[in-house]
Structure 1
Amino acid sequence: MIIVTGGAGFIGSNIVHQLNRAGERDILVVDNLAPSPNLSGPKFLNLAGAEYADYMDKKEFRAALRSGDFEGAKVRAILHQGACSNTLEDDGRYMMDNNFTYSKELLHFALEHKIPFVYASTAAVYGASTEFKEVPANERPLNVYGYSKLVFDNYLRRLLPEVKSTVVGLRYFNVYGPREQHKGRMASVIHHFTRQLKDTGTIRMFEGSGGYDNGEQRRDFVFVKDLARINMFFGGLLPDSPRKPTRAIVNAGTGEARTFKAVAEALMQVHGPGKIEYIPFPGDLKNRYQHYTQADVAGLRAACYSAPFTTLEDGIKQTFAEEPAL
């Protein structure tokens, strides 16, 4: 059995579909499908066409772990994507339970049973830093989401010297791709720009901020299918997966920052021409916004992941070949 938490979400559902393409069907999907004001649509649609052995609600799953229901299960890997990823969520108790305590419960289960454990961390741990190497000096989160992820990364760091099995934390940068239509405001700019372009013929992006000119803010945009492959690689689920345990916290980004203008231009190549309009920077994002991100991928490469990343232009083409109605 392969356990995918957050399996109905954006990244998790793409992992499930990629596992299916690799011939995997013995999958337990864990998620929370309760209504949420932060979502713009139902997550379950992301699993349309996917094949998996079982589904469990997150609360049911956590209770089953605590009660020992999985003690006899043959679990090949845990790909832990389940989290609250709303960067504007200010309820610290809720965030810490979802992103820290839940992750600890799964980590200790995996360690006890020597199960490969690959989990989603985030580039939000770097905050306003302009250096993105995985060292504490660069880690200055701007919101409780990034903080909750950093607390778990640091918890794992303290355990790593004694860990014998595979444990890999993946610091996701700006992820885009199919199956993010439910994410509302937290969807990627690729999703938002597409809706604007199709509805109005105009892409709206922020005026210059953080020392960058209009549309020149830069992010490391990473295609979701690349992240699915990285999860499967470290989970021991691919032919080229490492034969020995891997213990690391690494960046999962392309290593190349691209401007928001470049995103708009790539989208216009797919959807047709349009205009760009610059709008004032939102007040509620002040002191919470990363104007620049670019993954330092030396750690990822040192962990033996050598596959190339999909270019922004090719990723956008693939996204809308799969989701032409978006």
Structure 2
Amino acid sequence: MIIVTGGAGFIGSNIVKELNRQGRSDILIVDDLNNRKEQSQSYRNLRGLQFIDYMHKDDFLTAIQNKEFDGVDVDVVFHEGACSDTMEYDVNYMMKANYEYSKAVLHFCMEHRIPFLYASSASTYGAGENGFREGDECEDALNPYAYSKLLFDRYVRQVMSDTQSQIVGLKYFNVYGPQEHHKGNMASIFYQLYHQVKKDGVCRLFEGWGKFSDGTDVPNGGQKRDFIYVKDVVKVNLWFWQHKGPSGIYNCGTGKAHTYNEVADSVIKALGKGKIEYRDFPEVLKGKYQNYTESDTTKLLEAGYDQGFYDMYEAVKEYCDFLDAGGYFKYGK
């Protein structure tokens, strides 16, 4: 059996779908379908998936703490479940959901020597002033979400040498693609711009605010991010598990940053219409926003990953076509 926490979410449901394509349906999905921050719509992501059972995240936590999974043959745990709202400022809630819960699942896997692959985040690099290389010298946190992820990474580094089973953390950069509807305002810029163009033909981007690390001003729409297609994220996860990749914490990005202007251009080209307009940079985000991210892929490639990454324009065209076709996976297809 395979366990996917957050299996009704964005990345988790894509992992399940690819496992289905590879012939695996003996999957336990763990999630909370009534998540207070995700509009209670994530159940829709399950309709196109094949899996053996579902458990609420609290019931799963109780079950592993009560040893109810002792003797169950678990091949791997993909731990994708988390509160991913970067605007959530209830630190106690964030720490319980993202840090304490993750520790419990980690120790369950360590005890039973089950491969444990989990979602970290590029938000653990703060403003990116020190670069994007895995390690304490580059890491920081600008909000409670980022701190909860950073603290768990640091915890994993402390305990990793105490286990013989595989532990892999993946620092996801800016992920986009199918099955992100339920994320609402936290959905990718590609999803937001697709709907803006469909509605009134306009891609609305932030004006520039702040400076890049070299001291130059950020131009309108010139914020740069390492955008990675969700199918590439799935490939990296499955590669580490199926190839028994070395334990560690790795960046999961393409290694190439694109501006938001390029993002808008890719959506406009995919849809065959649209224009760009700029709006004021929100006061609430000033000092808490990453103007530039670009994954350092050195460690990932040294681990042996050789599957490459989608071209952004090709991925966006595929994603827009998917949204045009209904926007959800279809059962058995």
Instruction: Tell me the TM-score normalized by structure 1.
Output: 0.95
The equivalences for 1:107-118 within 5 A come to 107-118=106-117
Letter in 1 for 2:237: N
**What are the Cα deviations for residues 79-111 of structure 1, in whole angstroms up to 9, with x where unaligned?**
000000000100111101111111111111111
The equivalences for 1:58-97 within 5 A come to 58-97=57-96
Letter in 2 for 1:271: L
**What are the Cα deviations for residues 224-247 of structure 1, in whole angstroms up to 9, with x where unaligned?**
0111121112223xxxx13xx621
Q: How far, CA to CA, are the matches of 1:75 and 1:2 in structure 2?
A: 6
Q: How far, CA to CA, are the matches of 2:143 and 2:134 in structure 1?
A: 18
* SS of residue matched to 1:229: helix
Q: How far, CA to CA, are the matches of 1:87 and 1:39 in structure 2?
A: 12
Q: Is the 8 A contact 1:40 1:181 kept in 2?
A: no
The equivalences for 1:172-251 within 5 A come to 172-211=172-211, 212-236=218-242, 241-242=243-244, 246-251=246-251
The equivalences for 1:256-267 within 5 A come to 256-267=256-267
Tell me by how many angstroms 1:163 deviates: 2.6
Q: Is the 8 A contact 1:165 1:246 kept in 2?
A: no
* SS of residue matched to 1:216: coil
Q: How far, CA to CA, are the matches of 1:250 and 1:35 in structure 2?
A: 28
Letter in 2 for 1:110: C
**What are the Cα deviations for residues 163-187 of structure 1, in whole angstroms up to 9, with x where unaligned?**
3211000000000001111111100
Percent of pairs with identical residues: 46
**What are the Cα deviations for residues 248-287 of structure 1, in whole angstroms up to 9, with x where unaligned?**
0000000000000111111111112212111011111122
Q: Is the 8 A contact 2:34 2:40 kept in 1?
A: no
* SS of residue matched to 1:72: coil
The equivalences for 1:268-287 within 5 A come to 268-287=268-287
Q: How far, CA to CA, are the matches of 1:26 and 1:109 in structure 2?
A: 19
* SS of residue matched to 1:148: helix
Q: How far, CA to CA, are the matches of 1:235 and 1:54 in structure 2?
A: 22
Q: How far, CA to CA, are the matches of 2:240 and 2:322 in structure 1?
A: 26
Query: Equivalent residue for 1:56?
Result: 55
Letter in 1 for 2:120: S
* SS of residue matched to 1:306: coil
Q: What CA RMSD, in Å, does the superposition of the two structures yield over aligned residues? A: 1.2
Letter in 2 for 1:217: Q
* SS of residue matched to 1:235: helix
Tell me by how many angstroms 1:314 deviates: 1.4
Structure 2 residues without counterparts, runs of 5 or longer: 212-217, 328-333
Q: Comparing 80-89 with 275-284, which one deviates more in the overlay?
A: 275-284
Tell me by how many angstroms 1:161 deviates: 2.4
Q: How far, CA to CA, are the matches of 1:163 and 1:228 in structure 2?
A: 25
Structure 1 residues without counterparts, runs of 5 or longer: none
Q: How far, CA to CA, are the matches of 1:304 and 1:32 in structure 2?
A: 35
**What are the Cα deviations for residues 177-213 of structure 1, in whole angstroms up to 9, with x where unaligned?**
0111111110000011111111111111000123210
Letter in 1 for 2:273: P
Query: Equivalent residue for 2:215?
Result: none
Q: How many residues align?
A: 319
